[in-house]
Each structure stands twice: as structure tokens, then as C-alpha cells.
Amino acid sequence: LANRAFHPEDSVIDVSGVKIGGGHMGLIAGPCSVETFDQVLSIAKDAKASGANLLRGGAFKPRTSPYSFQGLGLKGLEILCAVKEEVGLPIVTELMSTEYLDIFNEKVDLIQIGARNMQNFDLLKQLGQVERPILLKRGLNATYEEWVMSAEYIMASGNENVILCERGIRTFETFTRNTLDLQSIPVLRKKTHLPVVIDPSHAGGKWWLVEPMAKAAVAAGADGLMIEVHNDPENALCDGAQSLKPAKYDNLLKQVKQIAQVV
Ligand code: PEP
Ligand code: MN
């Protein structure tokens, strides 16, 4: 179903009125984790003023250590909804368990499936039941074929609105958190008709790598960018080191828009 051979034109995914794909850029910005209402509100206002069209924020966090901050859960989702109400940006947040499928279907504009759940086939099959589009992140060590097959699970279950998100893969390099695979953009756009969004934040793990990689991604034909933005990265509860301050994000989008015009 994802194969370009049977669907030559680019898919355009409608996320509560925001189009992604076929020349429409999804500009997703926000903190790694929802911490407080004021934090998310402040970041959302700044990001929207810079040109972001979707707000991200993790309520349920898949942390490596059980002793790390696990997210605010449903309270975090409520904060996102309250900020959406105030700022008017559709929201993107990660679903980790089928337990919350109905509430996500009701409240979340774009449901994110994280790298660690890319092959949680039971979860993927259940996504056929929801009407909301899905942002499917690439697994830490998934091949293109495995990633596309995971998209296929969702599509075959009845939900064809899938956006792929490259977020860096595990390599032998340890200086960066992951290695951003920019080749995934032309490869997946050739093999599939689905939009491809790049997350340079989780790829590099360092804020100063975000701008050059985001620009390269847009030059390579990405359909969007998902970027972690935080108003106080030094004190962030999660992923502060890779988060841009709002002013840096603003500067980045100005450059990205120029590159997008040339591409
Ligand atoms: C995230 O986007 O906050 C996240 C946890 O990403 P990933 O699943 O790619 O690690
Ligand atoms: Mn994060």
C-alpha cells in the first residue's frame, strides 16, 4: 500500500487542516516532554510566531532508565490540549500503549509512534482503528524495508495516513547520539508515496547539530522537520542538550524557508 509503483503521486496527509507532503512542509516544534502549562504555552507561542504549524510534546516518555522522568501521562496530554486551545496549533504526541488509543484518537491530531515501538506489531495493528494520522519514527536499527513494513502494518489495518520520520540510527559512532541518515529521504520518496519528515534533534543529540542537519534535510527534499524547542534547555527534564532555544529556532526557519524555495 505504501509502494510508489501503485501510487505514483505523493501522498498529502491532512493533519487537522495542516497538509504534509506533496510540497507542503510539516514544521513540528516543541519540547521533548510536557513539563508545565506555562512552559508549553511559552514555547508554542514562540514556535508559532516563527512559522511552526504543529506543536509537539511528550506526555508518555519512553525513557532508557526507569529512574528517569517518565512524563506527566494524561496530565501532560491535558496540558497539550489546553495549549492547543489557546494557541491554535494541532498537537503531536507519542502513544506507547493501546490502553490510551481511544483518548489519543479523540484528542491528538497526529499520533506519534516512537522508534522503540516501531515494531510493536500489536500496537501498529490497532492503529488501523483510529482516524488520526500517524507519525511513524524509524526504529533505532531498522532497515528501510523493515520501516516500510511497519507502515504497511498500519495501512493494511485500515489507516493509510502515515508519515515517516527519520530520527537517526545506531552506528559505531558514539560522539553523536545517533547518525542521521539523510539518504532515507530520496530512498523512501522513491520507494513509497508517503511524506518523510526529519528529526535532527534525536539524531545528533546536540543542539548545534540541529541547524546544519535541518537545512541539509530540506535541501534533500524532506517533507518536514520535527525539532525540539525549549525555553530553558539547561533545566529541561528531558533532552535539553539537543533542544533549541526559541530564538535559534526562529533563525533556523528563516533559512529553511529560503532553501525550500530553491528546492
Ligand atoms: C521523541 O520524539 O520524543 C522520541 C522519544 O523520539 P524517538 O522515539 O525517535 O527516540
Ligand atoms: Mn526527546
pTM to 2 decimals? 0.98
For 61-114, the pLDDT digits (tens) are 999 999 999 999 999 999 999 999 999 999 999 999 999 999 999 999 999 999
Please state the rounded mean pLDDT for residues 38-58.
Answer: 98
- What's the confidence (pLDDT) of residue 167? 98
Test site for ligand 1: of 28, 70, 91, 94, most ligand atoms within 8 A of the Cβ? 94
Q: Is 165 in the pocket of ligand 1 (CB under 6 A)?
A: no
For 131-154, the pLDDT digits (tens) are 999 999 999 999 999 999 999 999
The whole domain housing 10 covers 4-262
CA of 262 to the centre of ligand 2 (A): 30
CA of 31 to the centre of ligand 2 (A): 7
Query: What total number of domains does the chain contain?
Result: 1
- What's the confidence (pLDDT) of residue 8? 97
For 179-226, the pLDDT digits (tens) are 999 999 999 999 999 999 999 999 999 999 999 999 999 999 999 999
- What's the confidence (pLDDT) of residue 161? 98
- What's the confidence (pLDDT) of residue 114? 98
Q: Is 133 in the pocket of ligand 1 (CB under 6 A)?
A: no
Q: Is 88 in the pocket of ligand 1 (CB under 6 A)?
A: no
- CATH number for the domain spanning 71: value is 3.20.20.70
Specify whether the CB–CB gap between 180 and 134 falls below 8 A: no
Q: Is 189 in the pocket of ligand 1 (CB under 6 A)?
A: no
Q: Is 114 in the pocket of ligand 1 (CB under 6 A)?
A: yes
